[in-house]
């Protein structure tokens, strides 16, 4: 055979074909082996991907589970990074503070709270005007090498605990007062009844004398009236002491809210001499038509609150009574335009015999506090900021389905 002048031997061609066939067979064998290996690797990769997907799903489920636990905790949890910035907070934090999560994330300190490095208990004023006592504890989050990666802060609501502690303290004081007041009241009541009786008898005799109506007799009758009035005031103080020392059992019944307010304000106006400039603004929530309370005792408490507001403004002013309700309680607030209540005074308001008035007995607001506690509620004193005027006292009482007798 000849190609371009070159002669190819037949035997050489056959040898070349044999070499080519051998190479083709080797290539085919290598390809088959490679394909099998690729298939094996693909199966292993699929299993690895399935395992990885399973692990990712498990981690995701664990993350969601831990997140649900964090959000369900009744205790507030705040997480900070190494720079001290808040990176995470659970639902309890937003509930305790009454703020949206967006106003918390990224901040170094919680809004409205003093930033403390370790442990702290403080009163916190929520944006809705309510106050809570919050206790916080902060711990570092260590890394494997021992350095701090940030911190976690735990926040507890101690409001009810403080309220119960204050109530127990008040009950202890009432018990001490009771052991003294009962005996004193009875010792004073008998001679005072005698003084009042003889003064009334003398006034009657003067009215029946032949010289009745003369200037001297009118003056003496006036003196008798002053003696009787003073004796009645002492009787009122004695009755207040006895009520504080031995509170009466509650007689709960539905009471029209507006009627109760009008009765209390009318009684306070009769009790306190006020100027004509005093104004009254009585309002109540549309869904709070009735309260389930002891009518006589709560009326007395409201009368004392209103009388206290009037006495804070001897030259007249405005007194506003507002009634509001949430899901569990009713709040009756009495506000005035008087000098207000400082933080130092607020701590003692409601203590028996504590008063800032020269003619006061210190029993009026103590009775209010005692009556509130008997109903399962409490008296809240709102402090007046420096430089401002006006006081606000709030009587908080449970709504009907929350009320229990003591």
Given 246, 267, 284, which residue is the final one in a domain? Answer: 246
Q: How confident is the model at residue 8 (pLDDT cuts 50, 70, 90)?
A: low
Judge if 268 and 340 occupy the same domain. yes
CA 344 to chain CA centroid, Å, is 20
Judge if 365 and 301 occupy the same domain. yes
For residues 85 and 108, what is the distance between their CA atoms, to the nearest angstrom?
A: 5
Give tens-digit pLDDT for 219-239.
778 888 888 877 777 777 777
Q: How confident is the model at residue 329 (pLDDT cuts 50, 70, 90)?
A: confident
Judge if 254 and 395 occupy the same domain. yes
Nearest to residue 333, comparing CAs of 257, 394, 391?
Answer: 394
- For every residue of 293-350, DSSP letters joined together read EEHHHHHHHHHHHHHHHHHT-TT--EEEEEEEE-SSEEEEEEEESSS---HHHHTTTT
Average pLDDT of span 69-91? 90
Judge if 266 and 381 occupy the same domain. yes
Number of domains composing the chain = 4
Per the prediction, the chain carries an average pLDDT of: 80
- The domain spanning residue 78 has which CATH number? 3.30.450.20
Judge if 258 and 238 occupy the same domain. no
Judge if 165 and 153 occupy the same domain. no
Q: What share of the chain is helix, strand, coil (3-state, %, to 5)?
A: 50, 20, 30
Judge if 258 and 241 occupy the same domain. no
Judge if 259 and 405 occupy the same domain. yes
Judge if 177 and 274 occupy the same domain. no
Given 13, 38, 71, which residue is the final one in a domain? Answer: 71
For residues 16 and 66, what is the distance between their CA atoms, to the nearest angstrom?
A: 73
Q: How confident is the model at residue 66 (pLDDT cuts 50, 70, 90)?
A: confident
Q: Any idea what DSSP says for residue 213?
A: T
The 10 Å CB-count burial string (b at 16+, else e) for 19-40 is eeeeeeeeeeeeeeeeeeeeee
Asked whether 62 and 52 are in contact (CB, 8 A), the reply is no
Residue 113, both tokens: 């709270």
For residues 262 and 303, what is the distance between their CA atoms, to the nearest angstrom?
A: 10
Residue 235, both tokens: 């009787």
Q: What's the confidence (pLDDT) of residue 172?
A: 76
Give the range of the structural domain holding residue 122, as residue numbers without chain letter.
73-157
For residues 305 and 301, what is the distance between their CA atoms, to the nearest angstrom?
A: 6
Most confident stretch, 72-76, 129-133, 184-188: 72-76
Judge if 347 and 272 occupy the same domain. yes
Give tens-digit pLDDT for 278-293.
565 556 554 678 888 8
Judge if 14 and 106 occupy the same domain. no
For residues 258 and 264, what is the distance between their CA atoms, to the nearest angstrom?
A: 10
Given 224, 246, 268, which residue is the final one in a domain? Answer: 246
Asked whether 89 and 152 are in contact (CB, 8 A), the reply is no
- 119-125: strand order across its sheet: 86-89, 76-81, 148-157, 131-142, 119-125
Judge if 166 and 260 occupy the same domain. no
Q: What's the confidence (pLDDT) of residue 394?
A: 92
Give tens-digit pLDDT for 151-178.
889 999 998 888 788 778 767 776 676 6
Q: What's the confidence (pLDDT) of residue 250?
A: 79
- The domain spanning residue 198 has which CATH number? 1.10.287
- The domain spanning residue 330 has which CATH number? 3.30.565.10
């Amino acid at each position: 055979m000849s190609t371009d002048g070159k002669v190819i031997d037949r035997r050489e061609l056959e040898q070349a074909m044999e070499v080519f066939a051998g190479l083709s067979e080797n290539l085919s064998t290598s390809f088959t082996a490679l394909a099998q290996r690729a298939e094996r690797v693909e199966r292993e990769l699929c299993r690895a991907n399935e395992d990885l997907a399973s692990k990712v799903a498990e981690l995701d489920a664990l993350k969601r589970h831990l997140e649900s636990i964090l959000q369900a905790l009744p205790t507030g949890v705040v997480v900070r990074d190494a720079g001290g910035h808040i990176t995470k907070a659970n639902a309890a934090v937003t509930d305790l503070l009454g703020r949206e999560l967006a106003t918390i994330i990224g901040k170094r300190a919680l809004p409205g709270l003093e930033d403390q490095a370790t442990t702290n208990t403080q009163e916190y004023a929520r944006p809705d005007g309510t106050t809570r006592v919050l206790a916080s504890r902060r711990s570092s989050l260590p890394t494997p090498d021992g350095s701090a990666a940030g911190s976690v802060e735990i926040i507890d609501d101690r409001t009810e605990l403080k309220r119960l502690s204050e109530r127990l303290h008040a009950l202890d004081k009432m018990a001490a007062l009771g052991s003294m007041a009962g005996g004193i009241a009875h010792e004073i009541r008998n001679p005072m009844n005698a003084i009042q009786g003889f003064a009334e008898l003398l006034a009657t005799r003067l009215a029946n004398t032949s010289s009745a109506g003369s200037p001297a007799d009118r003056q003496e009758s006036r003196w008798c009236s002053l003696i009787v009035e003073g004796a009645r005031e002492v009787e009122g103080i004695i009755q207040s002491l006895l009520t504080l020392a031995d509170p009466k059992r509650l007689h709960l019944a539905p009471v029209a809210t507006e009627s109760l307010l009008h009765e209390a304000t009318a009684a306070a106006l009769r009790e306190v001499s006020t100027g004509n400039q005093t104004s009254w603004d009585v309002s109540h929530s549309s869904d709070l038509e009735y309260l389930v309370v002891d009518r006589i005792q709560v009326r007395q408490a409201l009368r004392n609150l209103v009388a206290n507001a009037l006495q804070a403004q001897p030259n007249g002013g405005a007194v506003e009574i507002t009634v509001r309700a949430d899901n569990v309680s009713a709040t009756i607030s009495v506000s005035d335009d008087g000098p207000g209540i400082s933080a130092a005074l607020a701590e003692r308001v409601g203590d028996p015999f504590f008063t800032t008035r020269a003619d006061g007995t210190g029993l009026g607001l103590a009775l209010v506090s005692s009556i509130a506690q008997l109903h399962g509620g409490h008296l809240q004193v709102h402090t007046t900021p420096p430089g401002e005027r006006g006081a606000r006292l709030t009587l908080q009482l449970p709504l009907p389905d929350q009320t229990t007798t003591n």
